[in-house]
Amino acid sequence: MKVAILQFPGSNCDWDAEHAVKEVLGIPARRVWHKDPLPSETEAVIVPGGFSFGDYLRCGAIARFSPITADLQRFAGQGGQVLGICNGFQILCEAGLLPGALIRNDCLEFRCVNQALKAEDSNDRFHSSKLGSNLLLPIAHGEGNYRVKESTLSDLEENNQILLRYQGNPNGSLNDIAGIRNREGNVYGMMPHPERAVEPYHPTLDGLPVLKAFLEPILSAPAVEPVSQ
Amino acid sequence: MTDNTTSLPPNPDPCLNVEITPELVSQHGLLPEEYEDILRILGRVPNLTELGIFSVMWSEHCAYKNTRKLLRLFPTEKKDKDAIGQVLVKAGEENAGVIDVGEGWGVAFKIESHNHPSAIEPFEGAATGVGGIVRDIFTMGARPVLLTNSLRFGDLDSPLVKRLFRGVVSGISHYGNCLGIPNMGGDVYFDSCYEGNPLVNALCAGILRHEDIQKGAATGVGNPVYYVGPGTGRDGLGGASFASRELTEESAEDRPAVQKGDPFMEKLLLEACLEMMAIPGLVVGIQDMGAAGLTCSTCETASRGESGIEIDLDLVPQRESGMNSYEIMLSESQERMLVIVKRGRERELEEVFEKWDLHAARIGEVKEGDRMVVRHKGVVVADLPAKSLTDEAPVYDQPVSEPAHVVQAREWKPESVPELGEGEVAGALESLLSHPTIASKRWVWRQYDHMVMSGCTVEPGSDAGVVHLSIAGIDKRLAIANDCNNRFCYLDPYRGAQIAFVECMRNLACSGAKALAVTDNLNFGNPNKPEAYFLLRECVKGLADACAHFDVPVVGGNVSLYNEHGDGAIDPTPVVSMVGLIEKAEMVTRSSIERGGLDLVLLGGLPHEMGGSYFLQTQYGKKEGLVPEVDLEAEARLQDLILSEIGGGRVESAHDLAEGGLLVALVEMLFGEAPFGARVTVDQLGPSGRLDGLLFGESQGRVVVAVEPNSTSALLDNASKAGVPAQTLGQSDDSGELLLQVEGKAVLSADVSSLQKLWEDAIPARMSSS
């Protein structure tokens, strides 16, 4: 198994993420229950969307205490590749793997729309030349309003840690931020759902380059079978 | 009484000490003759707990006392045994009906109302409505794959209605989004008849293998009965709370009459139950605790299993202290299930629920005989023949009387309203597009996660919602449409119900889907009033006849009566929801056009009937008139043609004519991303001889299709062969302008994006003003 997709009680995009990685991109992946250890052969982790622990207290606040989150922190600390999508992004923020927090949308409502986004030139992998500068990806969240203290925000901007920005801000996020990475470039978080834009019947296929950018270190490894679509 | 009884312990359950008076019987909603039946069945006086059990099981909600005879009119299986969509589980047999969708797969689906709770507490009422219907589906062993709702509210300018609308939508959004089941929207109508009595009907569909269909039956003497899910509280006792006041010292003031939902619990329960049901041969029977909670699930499983059942309430997980047997048996606490498993395999169930951190309490077992026996604190608090509760409820035929307004509607003449002048077309169109019933419902469905599970293929807002069944690993698409125009049902209940059916089916056809089966939600007033019962009976007859004509059976549904408020009953609202199947990706068709340069072809002939139309409402404030004719044969020809033309690749978009008629349908087709426009020419006024009849009449069996010009002549030929009137109205373009000419005169020149803005802003603008 190469990609571990964490399953917390209340995760609900775990199947979607597995489908996109395994069936669409052809990379071995499986779901790992939050009480089980992170398998030793894990090469990348996706923390999927949903409502872990019902979003009670704060989004992601309880998942941070799940047994697997300690493994995840260790894995990330050793340079392992981690992507948090939606609730997964919230969990990564709560677990201290990414800075900032996601609070209630400024419209005070849940928003599920196809969202126009602009890809930033963050690093070699997340670069507009690879992703396309304008993307259309589904968003579906009630708490996607990204907040971070001013000094950290300047750091994020200065170090090119912004991955995606909203075009037409749907939730009040600072600097239109839709996704960020850590400074080291191995932990990624985003509110949009790339795994919902990978099939011909989806609104776009813009999720494919995003997932491929994240999985590039695995994709370029020699043992991997060619990507099938 | 002598003193020697004091050596016995005091009766531990106060429910056994209450004298059953005629007042108490009446407060339980039971008629004196119904109580006589209970005495006859038991051969003794029931105790309070038993009385409570009878009262809920013999309620309209559980027993369909006033509708059971009418419901027998619905066809429940397909006549054509070779067609796809054979009924695997029929209406009324289990928690939901199941139909075959080919290759060993089945679809379980059902609609259910939560009207009264939503009127009192819109957020929780609607949320628990979603929770209840989802449990009905996964109880069948199915993985839920889509949700929709049929919602009805009063006039959206009223602050109360805004509060209800906002609360209901956010309740549905909260619960469904957390579960991670895509909500494909549905239909929303606004009419003053629903003021104070909104309708909240929630539908869920799920997918399963034929061999995985579960039964709600308690069989196998000695098999253990499990209670799974969170603890039982006093919530949902509602109207019965008077009894608890008399019986306990604790205050009843804080007890909510409406249940409180916890979607996170439901998500855990859903996953745990599906995991448990995937273990071969473990589960014998399963039933959710919905209406009438523990009572309904125990006596129904025993009755279906031809068995007895015995449970001990001391073993039921409880989250409040001091509950008596009446309260535990009648509680409607949410997210609970009753499961009967094979004796000796208890650990397998317990391990699954331990994994998901849920209660799994063994509360009893399946017994020989036919009794439902309930113990509490060491004594028997109920001992009843299970079948008496499920099968022996009284069934009534109510007297009917045709309401005067129905007679008047038949005598209506279009001449009673002035003819619309050419200069008034634009204004009339704008009023229609701004009416919340016709306006865009994006404000609603952008709050629903319709894309989770990665299957959303046609998003809400088109004629039908479509989801790809990739989660089951199959290349099929499920389409869903809901419909019911209350105005037509009010004026002519028989035709109105048929219109709900044909329009629903037409919506599926326009989306490229073959209709398979129906679930219906009959929302009506008090059946004891002869006029209300007439409307109910005629709607059921109309719907049943349409189902039979098209060989589209009813596989389940729900009845909600007594929808009354200060000013009288709601309009009759038999909501029809239809599931269809799209086998091939190329068949998926949307209602809005995706490019200019397409021929716009009207199928079905020029519309002409204004009776009951929204035009009469927005222009003259009238709910009156002769309801448009329904020609089932013509409708069948039209829909067959649409499906074959879509299959032949000639139709790029299709939209049926509904509320607002031809002109509204045309402009809706142009509402897309790009600034589309069209030039449309109609060279005659048609059978009505008037502009308003042509442009705004709501004649049935009409569809506008957008066709690549090279294909138009073939399509017109096929239409002519099929006996479907067809005429080219004009062509779409990229001008952003709609130019309409009738009888050689320009009657409209409109900027499409301004019209779209009116249509899109109508609901948000009302919701942002108080």
Q: How many CB atoms lie within 10 A of CB B387?
A: 17
Give mean pLDDT, residues B434-445: 97
Give mean pLDDT, residues B158-168: 96
What residues in A contact B268, CB-CB < 8 Å?
A: 9-10
Which string of DSSP letters, residue by residue, matches A107-133?
TSS-EEEEEEEEE---SSSS-HHHH-S
Buried-state track B717-734, b at ≥16 Cβ within 10 A, e below 16:
ebbeebebbbbbbbbbbe
Contact B190, B276 (CB under 8 A): no
**Residue B255: band (very low, low, confident or very high) from pLDDT cuts 50, 70, 90:** very low
Share of chain A above pLDDT 70, in %: 95
Q: Find, in chain B, the residue whose alpha carbon is nearest to that of A14.
A: B453
8 Å CB contact of B177 and A51: yes
Residue A170 domain flag: yes
Least confident of A61-65, B391-395, B550-554, B700-704: B391-395
In Å, how far from its chain's centre is CA B693? 32
Q: A147: which 2 tokens?
A: 């907040």
Give mean pLDDT, residues A191-201: 97
Q: Which domain holds residue B379?
A: 10-70+211-390
Q: Which domain holds residue A101?
A: 3-219
Residue B75 domain flag: no
Q: Report the number of distinct structural domains present in chain B.
A: 2
* Model pLDDT, residue A1: 64
* Helical axes B32-42 vs B48-57, angle rounded to 10°: 120
User: Is some CB atom of chain B closer than 8 A to the CB atom of A15?
Assistant: yes
Q: B710: which 2 tokens?
A: 């090279």
8 Å CB contact of A201 and B449: no
8 Å CB contact of B468 and A109: no
Smallest Cα distance from A156 to chain B, Å:
30
Residue A214 domain flag: yes
**Residue B4: band (very low, low, confident or very high) from pLDDT cuts 50, 70, 90:** very low
Residue A227 domain flag: no
* Model pLDDT, residue B5: 39
**B299-352 confidence digits (pLDDT tens):** 999 999 999 999 999 999 999 988 999 999 999 899 999 999 999 999 999 999
* Model pLDDT, residue B196: 85
Residue B378 domain flag: yes
d(CA B129, CA B117): 9
Q: What is the CATH number of the domain that holds B19?
A: 3.90.650.10
Residue A119 domain flag: yes
Q: How many CB atoms lie within 10 A of CB B359?
A: 15
d(CA B297, CA B303): 10
Q: List Cα–Cα distances, B683 to A143, A170, B547, B738, B742, in angstroms.
A: 54, 46, 37, 17, 6
* Model pLDDT, residue B115: 92
Last residue of some domain: B342, B373, B390?
A: B390
- B655 is annotated as an active-site residue: no
- A107 is annotated as an active-site residue: no
Q: What is the CATH number of the domain that holds A144?
A: 3.40.50.880
* Model pLDDT, residue B254: 41
Residue B414 domain flag: no
User: Is some CB atom of chain B closer than 8 A to the CB atom of A198?
Assistant: yes
Q: Check pLDDT > 80 for residue B243.
A: no
Least confident of B244-248, B510-514, B656-660, B712-716: B244-248
What residues in A contact B455, CB-CB < 8 Å?
A: 201
Q: Check pLDDT > 50 for residue B379.
A: yes
Residue B398 domain flag: no
8 Å CB contact of B454 and A199: yes
* Model pLDDT, residue B770: 65
Give mean pLDDT, residues A146-160: 98
Residue B584 domain flag: no
**Residue B10: band (very low, low, confident or very high) from pLDDT cuts 50, 70, 90:** low
**B465-484 confidence digits (pLDDT tens):** 999 999 898 999 999 999 99
Q: Which residues contact A222 (CB under 8 A, 6 or more apart)?
A: none
8 Å CB contact of B470 and A19: yes
- B359 is annotated as an active-site residue: no
Q: B355: which 2 tokens?
A: 């994994």
Residues listed for chain B: 770
Question: Predicted ipTM?
Answer: 0.94
8 Å CB contact of B446 and A112: yes
Last residue of some domain: B329, B363, B390?
A: B390
Residue B337 domain flag: yes
**B713-769 confidence digits (pLDDT tens):** 999 999 999 999 999 999 999 999 999 999 999 999 999 999 999 999 999 999 998
What residues in A contact B447, CB-CB < 8 Å?
A: 109-112
Residue A224 domain flag: no
**B541-590 confidence digits (pLDDT tens):** 999 999 999 999 999 999 999 898 877 899 999 999 999 999 999 999 99
Task: Say which of B268, B449, B454 has its CB closest to residue A19.
Answer: B454
Residue A61 domain flag: yes
Helix (H, G, I), strand (E, B) or coil at B740: strand
* Model pLDDT, residue A227: 41
Give mean pLDDT, residues A131-144: 96
**B206-224 confidence digits (pLDDT tens):** 999 999 999 999 999 999 9
Strand-strand pairing, A3-7 and A44-47: parallel
**Residue B120: band (very low, low, confident or very high) from pLDDT cuts 50, 70, 90:** confident
Buried-state track B244-257, b at ≥16 Cβ within 10 A, e below 16:
beebbeeeeeebbe
* Model pLDDT, residue B256: 54
Is the dihedral angle over the CA atoms B201, B206, B211, B213 positive or is it negative? negative
Give mean pLDDT, residues B665-689: 94
Q: Check pLDDT > 50 for residue A37.
A: yes
8 Å CB contact of A196 and B454: yes
The helix (run of H) or strand (run of E) holding residue B168 is helix B159-179
What residues in A contact B457, CB-CB < 8 Å?
A: 201
Q: Find, in chain A, the residue whose alpha carbon is nearest to that of B262.
A: A54
Query: How are strands ordered across the β-sheet holding B371-376?
Result: B283-288, B337-341, B224-228, B360-367, B308-312, B371-376, B379-385
Residue of A86, A93, A94, A143 with catalytic role = A86
Closest by CA position to B696, among listed B611, B765, B594:
B611
Share of chain B above pLDDT 90, in %: 86
Rg (CA), chain A: 16
Contact B310, B373 (CB under 8 A): yes
Residue B108, phi-psi category: left (phi > 0), alpha (psi -120 to 50), beta (remainder): beta
Q: A61: which 2 tokens?
A: 């606040």
Which string of DSSP letters, residue by residue, matches B269-285?
HHHHHHHHHTSTTTEEE
In Å, how far from its chain's centre is CA B159? 26
Residue B104 domain flag: no
Last residue of some domain: B361, B390, B419?
A: B390
Strand-strand pairing, B371-376 and B337-341: unpaired
Q: Which of A113, A139, A201, A205 best tests the B interface by mutation, with the highest count of B CBs <10 A?
A: A201
* Model pLDDT, residue B92: 87
8 Å CB contact of A13 and B180: yes
Residue A229 domain flag: no
d(CA B123, CA B198): 12
* Model pLDDT, residue B675: 84
Q: Check pLDDT > 90 for residue B54.
A: yes
d(CA B160, CA A26): 53
Q: Report the number of distinct structural domains present in chain A.
A: 1
Least confident of B172-181, B263-272, B326-335, B656-665: B326-335
**A40-67 confidence digits (pLDDT tens):** 999 999 999 999 999 999 999 999 999 9
Q: B604: which 2 tokens?
A: 């079905």
* Model pLDDT, residue B234: 85
d(CA B196, CA B163): 11
* Model pLDDT, residue B248: 39
